[in-house]
Structure formats: C-alpha cells, structure tokens
C-alpha cells in the first residue's frame, strides 16, 4: 500500500518535461463530462475504464503516452493498463493541471 502511495506522490517532473519535449500524447483519463469542462489542449480523452478498449487510439498516439486525470489516482491505474498492453513508454502525468502548467512552461 505504501509503495503505491510513494509512486503516486513521487516527484517525477523531469520525466514529464522530457515526455512533453518529445511530443508525447497527453491522454486525459477522466470521464467525458470532466474532460469537456477543461483539459490540456490537444489531449485525447480515453476514460480509464475504457483503456483496454481503446487499442486503436493508443496505437495512433505519439509516444510517450502522458496520462493525466483530476488527482493522479485514475491516471496511475490507467498507467498500469497501458503498460499491460505493451506501452512501456508511458508516464503518469498526474493531474491535468500539472501537465498543462509544465507544458506552458516549456
């Protein structure tokens, strides 16, 4: 349990900056309603519950995949799903606000 929380709150800002600089695809894993209320410009909305069904969208996405949500919890779950599908070049961007802020700072 503590290992999961440690990963969730780890400072991986360097990995996020690198993924954004590489032109990675931001995938917002919140619900369509949450996504419609605001997200990172250019992000793709794939709810975390639909990750396994979205193989075609994921295949078209530019690597690395940058997963985000409202708090970092759903994106953490989605990260495990995309890695299980074979996408090793994926990171948990945590919140969409954090990803947006970092992206604006580049």
Which sequence spans correspond to the domains of the chain? 2-104
Cα separation, 104 vs 18, in Å, equals 14
Per residue in 41-99, pLDDT tens?
999 999 999 999 999 999 999 999 999 999 999 999 999 999 999 999 999 999 999 99
CA quadruple 104, 19, 66, 6: dihedral, nearest 10:
-100
Its pTM stands at 0.89
Q: How many CA atoms lie within 13 A of 86 on its CB side?
A: 3
Q: How distant is the alpha carbon of residue 4 from its chain centre?
A: 17
- Whether 86 contacts 47, CB under 8 Å: no
Element (H, E) at 104: helix 96-104
The CATH number assigned to the domain with range 2-104 reads 3.40.250.10
């Amino acid at each position: 349990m503590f290992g999961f929380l440690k990963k969730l709150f780890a400072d991986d800002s360097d990995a996020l900056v690198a993924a954004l600089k590489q032109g990675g695809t931001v995938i917002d894993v919140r619900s369509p309603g949450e996504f419609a209320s605001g997200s990172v410009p250019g992000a793709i909305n794939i709810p975390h519950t639909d990750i396994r069904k979205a193989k075609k969208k994921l295949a078209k996405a530019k690597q690395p995949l940058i997963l985000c949500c409202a708090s970092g919890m759903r994106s953490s779950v989605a990260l495990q799903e995309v890695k299980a599908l074979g996408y090793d070049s994926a990171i948990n961007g945590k919140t969409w606000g954090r990803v947006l802020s970092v992206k604006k700072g580049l």
